[in-house]
Every structure is written in C-alpha cells, then in structure tokens.
Chain A
Amino acid sequence: MLQKLFATYFRLEVSNDQMQLEENLIRKIISGDIRAFKDLVHQHERLVTYMISRIVSDQEDIKDISQEVFLKVYKSIHKFNYDSKLSTWIATIAYRTAINYAKKDLSKNFINDIEIPIDYETPEQILSIKNEAKFIQEQISRLPLSYRTVVTLYHLNEFSYQEIGEITGFPEGTIKNYLFRARKLLKERLEHYYRARK
C-alpha cells in the first residue's frame, strides 16, 4: 500500500517536472527562440515519423508530411492549452495531417480500413521471407489503417488508451478491440508462416 502511494507520488512528481519543462520550452518558442523549437523537433521526431510511416509508405512523402507537421506545430503552438501532454497534441496533428494526405493521394498509398480476409501468400512466397521479424513487419503494414495507427501509438509511442482516444477520436472500447484484433490477426498469420515453413 505504502509502496503504491510512493510510486503514485513519484510519478506525479515526474509528470509535474515534465510539464514544467514543456511549459518553459513552449514559452521560449512563442517568444521566437528557434533553438528551443529545434529541441522540440529533436524530442518528437521519432514520434512523428513512426506514426506517419505506418500510414504512408513512401519515404519522400514521410519527409514532406513530417515537415508539414512541425510547421503546423510551430504556427499553432500558441494555441496549445496544456489540457493534454505536448506529445499527445503533436501526435494528434501528425495523425490528422497524415490521414488527410493519404486520403488525397489514394493512388500512391494503399489505404485500407477494413479487415480483409487473410489472403495467405503461397508457400513459395512465404519461404522467400527468411526472417520472422521481417514477416511480422510486413504483416503489420498490411493491417487495416485504424489497427496500424492504434498499434503504433500503443506499442511504439507508449500512449495510454485515453491518449490514443484523444489523438484518433476512437472510444476506449474500440481502441482495446482494435489492439486485440490486430494482435490476433498477426498471431494467426504468424502461425500460418510457421506451418508453411515446416
């Protein structure tokens, strides 16, 4: 019990410190400090690029969207009202920008948001993928868009259900469902991969 209380207190202290740092950084950026903005880009570069790369596949597009996201962040940082974490706010901008971009360019980026029945590759195709990790990565990119987004935010960016809800606008139940279905789909495909290799 005491241990739990201490852990909660410690977590609150850390988040307070983090908020303080974020506030200072934002204040500096608003006052026109470009170096402070560089720090912000450094801190959130991975969050933005990972997120975009799961929605859009082209390397050049990822670069363009990442730039656009940080430009939007710079232009509207004065509107940030500290209701959420700065990373959640930036991820929301990244998510919306990437989705809009992908919707505009449907021919270039394959956007699927429905659970397609598993079209298993032929044994020859499966045998050509020697690496299990590579197979899983490939299967992740074939998941429906909503699953991919939720899975990236949860596993790579380590956001909570509530934060993912803020970013994507999905209810908490839907997020849990998407996570469950995505993992199950991947497990089934991996099972098939193992069977084909045997």
Chain B
Amino acid sequence: MRKLTEEDLIILLNADSSPDHDYEIKLYESVYKGLNTVPDIEVENLVSDVVKAIEHNLEWQSLLKFYAVGGLIIFFGIAFLVAGVSMVDKNLILKLALVLGQYKLICLFASMSFLIISVVDKLLLFKQVQRQNS
C-alpha cells in the first residue's frame, strides 16, 4: 500500500478532500473481502460417513482380535495337551505327529477354509449393513 506523502497529509489536515490512495485501499479491501469469503463447499453426511467408517474399522479390529485370541487359546491348549500326554506316553505324541504329518494338507485346507468363510461372511455382513443404510 502506498504511504501517505506530505502532500496527502496537507490535504487531510486541511480536510479538503481525501488523497487519491483511496483506489489502492479499495482494491485491498476487495481482496481482503474475497479472502475472508467462505468458499461455497459443503460435504454432505460427513459425520455419519466418518462414524460408519470408524465402526467398520472397529469391527475389523475386533474380528482380528478374536482370531488372535482364538489362535493363542488353541496353540496353548494343544501345547498343554501334548505336554500332559507326553508325560504319560511319549509314543502317543509320536503317533499324533505322524497322523498330522500324513494329513497335513487336509488340516491346512480345513483351517484355511474356516478362515476364508468367516472373512467372507463378515464382508457380506458389512455390505448388507451398508446397503440397508443407503
């Protein structure tokens, strides 16, 4: 913005008329007005969409927690069982290991299908809820 010159000050002091830096001031006033104008933007249903996304996220977290806890329980359960049985008869454990080794593919297939079915089931449930909400 242009500074007031001595001449401008004299005009102002004499209260004759305003100096011609008014134009610059007006320009800056318009710029400030434009900068302070709220943009014409509105995101619809932001709150509900965010909450839905969080709930979705939380459900996945709880599902993962469920699998982690379930896996740990099964792991420790088998470990205790094996330890207990091996104290009575070591041959039994060897036989069990042999059976598991023989049918490892079936065991792997069964556990994987359980995992896939439960994940797909959860996904379908989420989609159903989403469809109902929309």
Contacts A37-B51, A71-B53, A190-B27; A133 near B36 (Cβ below 8 A): no
Using CB atoms, name the residue of chain A closest to B40.
Answer: A137
Using CB atoms, name the residue of chain A closest to B36.
Answer: A155
Q: How far is the CA of A38 from the CA of B46 in the complex (A)?
A: 10
Q: How far is the CA of A75 from the CA of B50 in the complex (A)?
A: 12
Contacts A34-B51, A37-B54; A140 near B35 (Cβ below 8 A): yes
A13 lies within 8 A of chain B by Cβ: no
B43 lies within 8 A of chain A by Cβ: yes
Distance of B78 from chain A, by nearest CB (Å): 34
Secondary structure at the B interface, as helix, strand, loop or mixed, is helix
Residues of A within 8 A of B36 (CB): 155-156
Q: How far is the CA of A34 from the CA of B59 in the complex (A)?
A: 14
B75 lies within 8 A of chain A by Cβ: no
Residues of B within 8 A of A139 (CB): 34
Q: How many residues of B contact A (CB 8 A)?
A: 26
Chain A interface size, under 10 / 10 to 19 / 20 to 34 / 35 or more: 35 or more
Distance of A137 from chain B, by nearest CB (Å): 6
Q: How far is the CA of A125 from the CA of B49 in the complex (A)?
A: 40
Query: What sequence of 0s and 1s flags, for each residue 68-101 of chain B, a beta carbon within 8 Å of any chain A beta carbon?
Result: 0000000000000000000000000000000000
A62 lies within 8 A of chain B by Cβ: yes
Distance of A197 from chain B, by nearest CB (Å): 13
Mark out the residues of chain B between 1 and 45 whose CB falls within 8 Å of any chain A CB in the assembled complex. Answer: 24, 27-28, 30-39, 41-44
B47 lies within 8 A of chain A by Cβ: yes
> Of A67, A187, A191, which one neighbours B50 at CB under 8 angstroms?
A67
Using CB atoms, name the residue of chain A closest to B55.
Answer: A34
Using CB atoms, name the residue of chain B closest to A189.
Answer: B31
Mark out the residues of chain A between 143 and 161 whose CB falls within 8 Å of any chain B CB in the assembled complex. Answer: 151, 155-156
Please determine whether B39 and A54 come into contact, CB atoms closer than 8 angstroms: yes
Contacts A50-B38, A67-B53; A45 near B31 (Cβ below 8 A): no
A66 lies within 8 A of chain B by Cβ: yes
Contacts A37-B54, A62-B41, A74-B54; A186 near B46 (Cβ below 8 A): no
- Give me the interface of B with A, judged by CB distance under 8 Å: 24, 27-28, 30-39, 41-44, 46-47, 49-51, 53-55, 57
The 3 closest A-B pairs by CB, nearest first: A136-B34, A155-B35, A70-B50
Can you name 9 A-B residue pairings with CB atoms under 8 Å? Answer: A38-B51, A41-B51, A45-B47, A49-B41, A63-B44, A71-B53, A75-B57, A133-B33, A183-B35
